[in-house]
Amino acid sequence: MTGTTDFYARQASTKGNDPETVVVSAALTGALTTRKQCPAIPYTPAEIAEEAAAAREAGAAVAHIHARTDEGAPTFDVDTYQEIHDEVRERTDIVLNFSTGAIETPLEDRLEYVQSVGPEIAALNMGSMNYAKYSDAREEYVFDMIFENPFSEIRDLLAGMNEASVTPELECFDTSHVGNTRPLLEEGVLERPFHASLIMGVLGGIPATVENLVHQVRQLPEDCTWQVIGIGRDQWPLVAAALSMGGNVRVGLEDNFYRPSGEMAESNADLVADAVELARQVGREPAAPDEAREILGVER
Residues 203-242: tens digit of each pLDDT = 999 999 999 999 999 999 999 999 999 999 899 999 999 9
* pLDDT of 10: 79
User: What's phi and psi for 8, nearest 5 deg?
Assistant: -70, -35
d(CA 18, CA 14): 7
Q: How far is Cα 75 from Cα 61, in angstroms, rounded to an integer?
A: 24
Say how far apart CA 4 and CA 20 lie, in whole Å: 8
Quickly state the pLDDT bin for 300 (edges 50, 70, 90): low
pLDDT reported for residue 4:
64
Indicate the DSSP class of residue 189: S
pLDDT at 2 over 60: no
Question: What number is the average pLDDT over the span 160-174?
Answer: 97
- pLDDT score for 135: 85
Q: How far apart are CA 34 and CA 29, in angstroms?
A: 9
Query: Poorest-confidence range of 83-97, 137-151, 156-170, 247-261?
Result: 137-151
Render the burial of 186-223: b for 16+ CB within 10 Å, e for the rest. eeebbeeebbbbbbbbbbbbbebebebbeebbeebeee
**Mean pLDDT for the chain?**
95
Q: Show Cβ contacts of residue 146 under 8 Å, excluding neighbours closer than 6 positions.
A: 103, 128, 129, 130, 131
Query: CB–CB of 91/66 below 8 Å?
Result: no
Among residues 87, 98, 147, the alpha carbon closest in space to that of 122 is found at 98
pLDDT tens for each residue of 81-136: 999 999 999 999 999 999 999 888 899 999 999 999 999 999 999 999 999 988 88
Q: pLDDT value at position 1?
A: 52
C-alpha 243/C-alpha 14 separation (Å) is 9
**Interatomic CA distance for residues 194 and 169, integer angstroms:** 7
CA distances from residue 190 to 53, 175, 185 in whole angstroms, order as listed:
31, 18, 5
pLDDT band at 8 (very low <50, low <70, confident <90, very high): confident
Look at phi and psi of residue 139 and say left if phi exceeds 0, alpha if psi is from -120 to 50, else beta.
left
Q: Which of 4-8, 140-144, 149-153 has the lowest mean pLDDT?
A: 4-8
pLDDT in tens, 262-289: 999 999 999 999 999 999 999 999 999 9
CA 209/CA 220 separation, integer angstroms: 18
Q: How confident is the model at residue 5 (pLDDT cuts 50, 70, 90)?
A: low
Contacts of 296 (CB under 8 A, 6+ apart): 23, 95, 121, 167, 195, 225
CA dist 139 and 269 (Å) reads 33
Where do the structural domains in the chain lie, given as residue ranges?
A: 22-296
pLDDT tens, 25-47? 999 999 989 999 999 999 999 99
Distances (CA, A) of 81 to 91, 184, 284: 16, 28, 33
Q: Report phi then psi at 200, rounded to 5.
A: -130, 135
Q: Is the pLDDT of residue 6 over 80?
A: no
**Which pTM value belongs to this model?**
0.95
pLDDT the model gives residue 9: 72
Could you tell me the CA-to-CA distances from 38 to 28, 180, 183, 263 in Å, in that order?
12, 35, 40, 12
76: Cβ–Cβ under 8 A, 6 or more apart, which residues?
Answer: 67, 102, 105, 109, 110, 112, 113
Taking the C-alpha atoms of residue 84 and residue 235, their distance in angstroms, rounded to an integer, is 27
What pLDDT score does 126 carry? Answer: 98
* CATH number of the domain located at residue range(s) 22-296 in this protein: 3.20.20.70
* DSSP SS3 for 249: strand
Please tell me which residue, 187 or 11, carries the higher pLDDT value. Answer: 187
